[in-house]
Amino acid sequence: MPSHNIRLMESAYGAVLFLMLVTASAAQDGCICPMNIRTTCEMESGSCICRVLGSNQRVNCSTLTSKCLLMKAEMYRTPRRFPKPEHAFLDNDGLYDPDCDASGIFKARQCNKTDTCWCVNSAGVRRTDKGDDNMRCSELVRTNWILIELKQKERVDPFLEAEVENSLRQFIQNRYQLRQHFIPAVKYDYPFIQIELKQDLLQKTYRDVDIADVAYYFEKDIKRTSLFHFSNAFNLSVSGEPLDIEEILIYYIDEKPPEFSMKQLTPGIIAVVVVVVLAFITGITMFVFNRWRKTGKYEKVEIKEMGEMKREENA
Ligand SMILES: *[C@@H]1O[C@H](CO)[C@@H](O)[C@H](O)[C@H]1NC(C)=O
Ligand SMILES: *[C@@H]1O[C@H](CO)[C@@H](O)[C@H](O)[C@H]1NC(C)=O
Ligand SMILES: *[C@@H]1O[C@H](CO)[C@@H](O)[C@H](O)[C@H]1NC(C)=O
C-alpha cells in the first residue's frame, strides 16, 4: 500500500531528523571532559578544548589527568569558608597546592607559599624533611611501586580470590587504561585486598598512564568523589555482587630510599615511603540516601617511614 509506505518513510525520516537534532545538540552541550570534572571546557574553532581549574593547563580528555594538576585544581576548588583560628595548627601534609611543570608533573621541590620547602616523589608525596628556602631537590625521584590495600565491608560469604583478582584487574584496566603488565599482583585475604602497581620509567611509553595517577583516581572513586564525569558508572563488583570497600591505604615506594633525617632507619624497609590513610565507612546505599552529607571520615594524611609504622602498630 502506497500510503502506508509513505507514512513509514515519513516516520523513518522523522526518526532520522530527530536523531540528527539530538546528535547536534549533544555535540554542543557535550563539550565536557569525561575523564576530569575539574575542568572548564569551551568550543574553540570547532573542537572542545578543556583546561584544568587552578592551572588553566590544557588537558587530553581521553586519558587521565596528572595528579599534580588534579591536586592544584582541588586546592583551587576549595575556598576556605571560615578563617583559621589563631594559633591553630593545620596538618596539611598530603594535600597542598603543588607546583607542576609544563607537562603537569610534580616539580621535585615544593613549598607551601611561605619559606617552608620539601622534596617530593613523582606521586607528589613528601620524601624529605621540611626545610627552609635553601632546600635543594636535585631530581624528581620516581615512585615505581604502589601498594593499595583495601578493606572490604563485612559480608557473610567472602568472594573467591580468583574472582576478586579478575574483577579488579578488569576494572583498573577499563576505567583507568592501565595495562595488565603494570599490575603484577592482586591478593585477597578476606576482608583485605592488596593491589600491586609497578612501573619503571623504562617500561612506560608516553601513552601509558602513570601508576601514581591511577592510584589517585582510584582513591577518589573509592571515596565516592569521582573525578570522572559519569561517576554513576562506578560499579565495582565481583560475580555480579557489589564489592563494598570501607577503608583504603596507599603505600608509595620510591626508586630511592626517602631522606628523612634523625631516624635510625632499618635497612631493607627504608625504601618504603608511607602512607595515605583514608578510613571511612560508606556504602552504595548510604551514598544514595546521604549523598549531601559528608560520609567520609578523613582520618589522617601523613608520611612516615615504615619502621615508625611498625612501632606504632606494636604499641
Ligand atoms: C607552611 O609550613 C609551615 C611548617 O609546616 C607552617 O608553619 C606554615 O603555617 C605553613 N604555611 C602555610 C601557608 O600553609
Ligand atoms: C590523548 O590521549 C590518547 C590516549 O592515550 C592518545 O591516543 C592521543 O594521542 C592523545 N592526544 C593528544 C593530542 O595527545
Ligand atoms: C554492576 O555490574 C554488575 C556485574 O557486572 C551488574 O550485574 C550490575 O547490574 C551493575 N550495576 C549497575 C548499577 O550498573
| Residue-wise pLDDT tens digits, 168-189 | 999 999 999 999 999 999 999 9
Task: For ligand 1, say whether the CB of 114 is within 6 Å of any of its atoms.
Answer: yes
Is the CB of 60 within 6 Å of ligand 2? yes
Model pLDDT, residue 231: 59
**Ligand in nearest proximity to the CA of 90:** 1
Gyration radius of the chain over CA positions: 23
Ligand 3 pocket list (CB less than 6 A): 235, 237, 240
Provide the pLDDT for residue 129: 85
What does the CA dihedral 271, 107, 96, 41 come to, rounded to 10 degrees? Answer: -130
What CATH number is given to the structural domain containing 238? 3.30.70
**Does residue 128 lie in a domain region?**
no
For residue 240, the CA-to-ligand 3 centroid distance in Å is 6
Q: What is the pLDDT of residue 126?
A: 87
- The answer on 63 and 151 residing in a single domain is no
The domain boundary, picked from 254, 279, 295, lies at 254
Which ligand is the nearest neighbour of the Cα of 206? 2
**Closest C-alpha among 37, 59, 64, 63 to residue 48:** 59
Residue 302 in domain: no
pLDDT at 90: 53
Assess if residue 268 is contained within a domain.
no
- 150 and 248 in a single domain? The answer is yes
In a domain, 295, yes or no: no
Domain boundary among 224, 254, 284: 254
* Number of the ligand 3 atom closest to the C-alpha atom of 240: 4
Nearest residue (CA) to ligand 3, atom 3: 240
In a domain, 153, yes or no: yes
Residue from 230, 234, 237 whose mutation best tests the ligand 3 pocket (most atoms within 8 A of CB):
237
Please report, to the nearest 10 degrees, the dihedral formed by the alpha carbons of residues 29, 30, 35, 36 taken in order: -20
Residue 125 lies in a domain: no
Any domain includes 56: yes
Q: Which domain holds residue 188?
A: 89-93+142-254
| Nearest-atom index, ligand 2, CA of 207 | 5
pLDDT at position 30 is 81
190 CB-near residues (< 8 Å, 6+ apart): 152, 158, 159
Among residues 235, 254, 273, the one where a domain terminates is: 254
pLDDT in 10s for each residue of the chain, 315 residues: 444 544 444 444 444 444 444 334 334 468 999 999 999 999 999 999 999 999 999 999 999 999 999 999 988 866 666 776 665 555 555 678 899 999 999 999 999 877 889 999 999 988 888 888 899 999 999 999 999 999 998 999 999 999 999 999 999 999 999 999 999 999 999 999 999 999 999 999 999 999 999 999 998 898 888 999 875 567 789 999 999 998 888 888 888 888 877 554 444 433 444 444 444 433 332 333 333 333 333 333 334 433 333 334 443
Number of folded domains that form the chain: 2
Atom number of ligand 1 nearest to Cα 96: 14
Q: Is there a single domain that holds both residue 72 and residue 172?
A: no
* Angstrom distance (rounded) from CA 69 to CA 66: 6
Domain membership flag for residue 196: yes
Residue 235 CB less than 6 A away from ligand 2: no
Of 298, 308, 252, 255, nearest to 275 by C-alpha is 252
DSSP 8-state assignment for residue 124? S
